[in-house]
Amino acid sequence: MKLRQDTRTGKITMHKKLWKMVLIVALPLMIVIVVIATIGVVYAFQYRAILNNVTVASDFNQDFKPDVDLKMYYYVIDSQYSVGLPLEEVQSAENIALKLIETTTEKDSLRAINSVLNLCKNLEEKMLQIEQTEEYDSRQTQLDQNIYVDTELIQQYMYTYLYYEAVHLNALQTAMIENMIILMVAALAAALVLLYFLLNYSRRLSHRVVDPIDEICQRLEAIGKGSLLVCEPIQAEVEEVQLLSDGIESMVGRLKRQIEKNAEQEKQKRSTELALLQAQINPHFLYNTLDTIIWLIESGEINSALTMVDSLSNFFRFSLSRGQNVITLAEEEKHIRSYLEIQQMRYRDLMEYEIDISDDIKKCILPKLTLQPIVENALYHGIKVSRRKGFIRVTGRLRNECVVLEVTDDGSGMTEDRLNEIRASLADDKSGGFGLRTVHQRIQILFGTQYGLAIESKPDAGTRVIVTIPIQFMDEEMKQ
């Protein structure tokens, strides 16, 4: 097979040559692998079948003869220990024999197990004959001449079956080992031939392909270390290698321009994210909280006022979070706890809450102010609208290798149309659900599009917002 030559550049393409090499190497290897695998599977099934037969036969009651003989003796002499004819033991032996006949292939083994089956049927008939015999001496004679003889033969034939199957198993194992050794030797010989071919072929290709590729690798290593200066492409005889070198230098130029552009976009994005974060803090919340504190002081509830001041202080301290955009779930929990403490004092007869976040996920990270807007929506658009006392529950658990946070309220809920509108607003810039959309987008910016918010709601049955984030912990880059 000749090398195809590109008429435009005069360079040699390696496509057909490499494809030929792959076929020459792969086809023999595939044939060897298929042969070895086929033989191995055949032996495995045979070995498994015989081993299963031996296992099933081993389940045969080793005390079959003594048990049946003793029970029949008690039955014949009409002893107080008699429990009737031991037909169950005989039927159990028949079932084992039938199961073995289905999977046994060796003639000697089949002969033995068929004898067991026939003897079991004969033994049942002899038992029924004794049942119909009334004379004691006649029953005793049948016991000695029929029952004892049949049980002895059944046990002997079962042992004979086990012997032949064990011999067959040993022979199969020996044949399998011998054949595998032959196949391994053949495979080794084929591998040595292929190795010789590959070494010889690689030596011829080295000058045309490998040497230019080594230079390209050195160039890529320099690029990986930060060298983004555009250089002259490496000259190579092979068209693909030349195109690769030309493409790398072109890519370096575009990469350098893109890095500069991305740096500026990242700076703008961080500024925008920070502005969105600060926008979540409602000035009316601060005003109303201070107004409530004043009312508590005027009413003489100094302790409640102090508690509310402390909660407000904690709320804004956690909102600032030392300027970090990413915090731990433990910090986020403290933030929403402060928020809910304040709101519960403002709406004593309107709201109760519970926070139940598992300790094993509290060191995981998430964007700051993830839960607070959701909790605020639950209060103002769920509990207050329903005009009755409501309950807000915040939970956090590990589920399917993700951190799943849920904010549930039993407020007014949403109609299906409104729910669809809110869900649609998460993915685009439609009006409605600004706070939820901001949280959803910030999660996807940080972790990826497979994470974010999901919303479930029914009218007059409440709303559940599900936050799914990966299991990640704080590193130095995220602290910035």
In the 3-class helix/strand/coil scheme, how is 127-176 assigned residue by residue?
Answer: HHHHHHCCCHHHHHHHHHHHHHHHHHHHHHHHHHHHHHHHHHHHHHHHHH
Report strand pairing: 390-399 vs 351-357: parallel
Say if residues 389 and 352 touch (Cβ distance below 8 Å). Answer: yes
CA end-to-end distance (rounded Å), the chain: 60
> What is the tens place of the pLDDT at every residue in 432-474?
556 788 888 888 888 888 999 999 999 988 999 999 999 988 7
Please tell me the predicted confidence (pLDDT) of residue 272.
61
Measured CA to CA, the distance from residue 329 to residue 401 in angstroms comes to 16
Whether 253 shows a pLDDT value over 60: the answer reads yes
173-182, 301-310, 312-321: which is most confident: 173-182
- Measured CA to CA in angstroms, residue 420 lies from 49, 386, 397 at distances of 58, 20, 26
> What is the tens place of the pLDDT at every residue in 374-405?
988 888 888 888 878 889 999 999 998 899 99
Residue entry with tokens 């000035």? 283
**Among 372, 374, 364, CA closest to 447:** 364
Instruction: Supply the pTM of this predicted model.
Output: 0.45
Domains, the chain: 17-194 (1.20.120), 280-470 (3.30.565.10)
Q: 3-class SS at 462?
A: strand
Please tell me the predicted confidence (pLDDT) of residue 148.
86
**Among 396, 301, 415, 295, CA closest to 354:** 396
Please tell me the predicted confidence (pLDDT) of residue 1.
37
Residue type present at position 127: M
Please tell me the predicted confidence (pLDDT) of residue 232.
60
- Measured CA to CA in angstroms, residue 122 lies from 85, 147, 266, 329, 391 at distances of 14, 9, 90, 77, 77
Whether 163 shows a pLDDT value over 50: the answer reads yes
Mean pLDDT (the chain, rounded): 78
- For range 31-49, the mean pLDDT: 74
3-17, 298-312, 400-414: which is most confident: 400-414
Looking at per-residue pLDDT, the higher value among 103 and 273 belongs to 103
Say if residues 409 and 462 touch (Cβ distance below 8 Å). Answer: yes
Measured CA to CA, the distance from residue 398 to residue 400 in angstroms comes to 7
- For range 242-258, the mean pLDDT: 75
